[in-house]
């Protein structure tokens, strides 16, 4: 089996501040999620982080259409980043336990969905070739956990897929009327790892003082 390349992307200012006491005031995001104003005031610079990620993708895959799946190791407390990378290399994705909450991929039509990802055409005019999609995903990982009583998640892994190894699945979420096309299945279920172009590691910038 061909080795899957792993690329590291050093990202400055992707910091998460935790608060012990909150005022109770809330900010409503563009997605309708309410988060404490303290967390919103100290949110990471999603635009800058997305620029670092898309710039690496432009360098690697200019002129190509790819699938990008972003992950947070914080959502896998019993797994390290290296553990998740080993799992991805072995099975071709990160859904190692379908009994995990949220990994069942329920939809009204009960269609099979292997994974969700961003479909990105690399190399168009800057700002329109995935940068906004990635920014949206970063903010969603930060904001959505508040709606289920959890703290923000920080993305630190990405899987880049070849789209011609995947098939899109149109599906509908419960409570949503519009069809979604972010779900995919593997065309060759027995060779899922063969659909991966690369794994991305998002690393914090470490200064000479050792701060992150």
* Whether the predicted pLDDT of 211 surpasses 50: no
In a domain, 184, yes or no: yes
pLDDT attached to residue 106:
63
Q: What is the mean pLDDT of the chain?
A: 87
In a domain, 10, yes or no: yes
pLDDT tens-digit map of 87-144: 999 999 999 987 766 555 665 566 788 999 999 999 866 556 788 999 999 999 999 9
**Total domains in the fold of the chain:** 1
In a domain, 137, yes or no: yes
In a domain, 90, yes or no: yes
pLDDT tens-digit map of 53-69: 999 999 999 999 999 99
Q: Domain range for residue 157?
A: 6-16+25-204
In a domain, 155, yes or no: yes
In a domain, 1, yes or no: no
pLDDT attached to residue 129:
75
pLDDT tens-digit map of 80-97: 999 999 999 999 999 998
pLDDT tens-digit map of 23-46: 999 999 877 889 999 999 999 999
- Spatial CA neighbour of 70 closest among 142, 175, 18: 142
In a domain, 143, yes or no: yes
In a domain, 209, yes or no: no
């Amino acid at each position: 089996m061909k080795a899957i390349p792993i690329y590291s992307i050093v990202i400055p200012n992707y910091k998460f501040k935790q608060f012990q006491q909150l005022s109770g005031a809330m900010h409503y995001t563009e997605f309708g999620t309410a988060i404490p104003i303290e967390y919103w005031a100290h949110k990471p610079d999603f635009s800058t982080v997305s620029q670092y990620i898309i710039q690496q993708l432009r360098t690697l895959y200019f002129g190509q259409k790819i699938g990008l799946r972003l992950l947070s190791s914080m959502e896998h407390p019993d797994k390290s980043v290296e553990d998740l990378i080993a799992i991805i290399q072995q099975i071709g994705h990160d859904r190692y336990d379908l009994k995990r909450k949220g990994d069942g991929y329920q939809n009204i039509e009960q269609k099979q969905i292997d994974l969700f990802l961003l479909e990105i055409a690399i190399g168009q005019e800057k700002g329109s070739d995935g940068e906004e999609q990635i920014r949206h995903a970063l903010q969603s990982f930060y904001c959505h956990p508040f709606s289920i009583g959890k703290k923000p998640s920080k993305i630190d892994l990405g899987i880049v897929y070849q789209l011609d190894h995947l098939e899109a699945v149109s599906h509908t979420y419960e409570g949503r009327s519009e069809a979604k096309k972010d779900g995919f299945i593997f065309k060759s279920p027995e060779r899922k790892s063969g659909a991966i172009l690369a794994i991305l590691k998002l690393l914090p910038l470490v200064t000479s003082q050792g701060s992150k």
